[in-house]
Structure 1
Amino acid sequence: MSVDVRIETGRIARFLRLRGGRVERKLRERTERVARIAAAEAPGSMGRYVDWHIETGPRGLEGVITCDHPAVLYVVQGTRPHLIRPRRRGGVLRFEVGGDVVYTRLVRHPGTRPNNFLARALRMGR
């Protein structure tokens, strides 16, 4: 008696990448965990803009984490020192400093250091 065993790696790979399979469940758990960490690490209210989903990419299933806050690029990459002026000609800027309301026509912003909270969350979520 003889037994012939063939392992078809292509079929195994396709089976593992199926929607709803074990690999997708683990990917979904890990992606959700990293997204929760990113939301906690994000400054201010930016964490409310962190979202995640699973999609099919060129190499199979991928976990995707996004932050669609309008200032996320400035937070992640940082900013150089810059001037802030009112949007309207002749307008003024209004803000609070130490509980006092300040009105001015120009602010010399010192810039911000990069805060790549998304990459940090990915490292922490491993």
Structure 2
Amino acid sequence: MSVEVRIDTGKLSRLLRLRGGRTARKLAERTEKVARIAEREAPGSMGSYISWKVTDGPKGLQGVIVCDHHAVHFVLDGTRPHIIRPRKKNGVLRFEVGGRVVYSAYARHPGTRPNNFMARALREGR
């Protein structure tokens, strides 16, 4: 006795891309899980700027996680040592050092190491 199995790849492909289908629900669960980990790993208030969605991509459904914080690029990639100057001409910087308020024409920032919390969240959320 022989059994013949035929797979209609077109129907299978449509089934996998079906919005609201099982695949889409599982992708949404996984994407949300990774986004929650990224929120937890993000420094300062950056986690509150993270959002996620499932969308149609060029190869089917895809989970997308975005951080809209203005400084996310500097956190993910790090910065080199640099000079910080006031925004206004002839302005001053104001900051605290050891509990004392200090005013300065500029500050030498030592730079920061990269903190790729998004990649860590993706690895942890597998």
Q: Same fold (TM over 0.5)?
A: yes
- 2:76 corresponds to: 76
Is the counterpart of residue 63 in structure 1 residue 63 in structure 2?
yes
The residue type paired with residue 82 of structure 2 is: H
- CA deviations on 1:43-88 (whole Å, 9 max, x unpaired) are 0000000110111000000000000000000000000000000011
Detail structure 1 runs of 4+ shifted over 6 Å in the superposition: none
Q: Secondary structure at the match of 1:25?
A: helix
How far apart in 2 are the matches of 1:4 and 1:123?
A: 40
> 1:17 deviation in Å?
1.1
- 1:24 corresponds to: 24
Q: Larger deviation: 48-57 or 8-17?
A: 8-17
How far apart in 1 are the matches of 2:94 and 2:51?
A: 32
- CA deviations on 1:3-55 (whole Å, 9 max, x unpaired) are 86532022112112100000000000000000000000000000000110111
> 1:98 deviation in Å?
2.4
The residue type paired with residue 120 of structure 1 is: R
Q: CA RMSD in A?
A: 1.4
Is the counterpart of residue 110 in structure 1 residue 84 in structure 2?
no
> How many pairs does the alignment contain?
125
The residue type paired with residue 6 of structure 1 is: R
Q: Secondary structure at the match of 1:44?
A: coil
The residue type paired with residue 116 of structure 2 is: N
The residue type paired with residue 8 of structure 2 is: E
How far apart in 2 are the matches of 1:108 and 1:23?
A: 51
Question: Among the aligned pairs, what percent are the same residue?
Answer: 70
How far apart in 1 are the matches of 2:101 and 2:56?
A: 51
TM-score normalised to the size of structure 2?
0.94
TM-score normalised to the size of structure 1?
0.94
Structure 2 runs not aligned, ≥5 long: none
- 1:123 corresponds to: 123
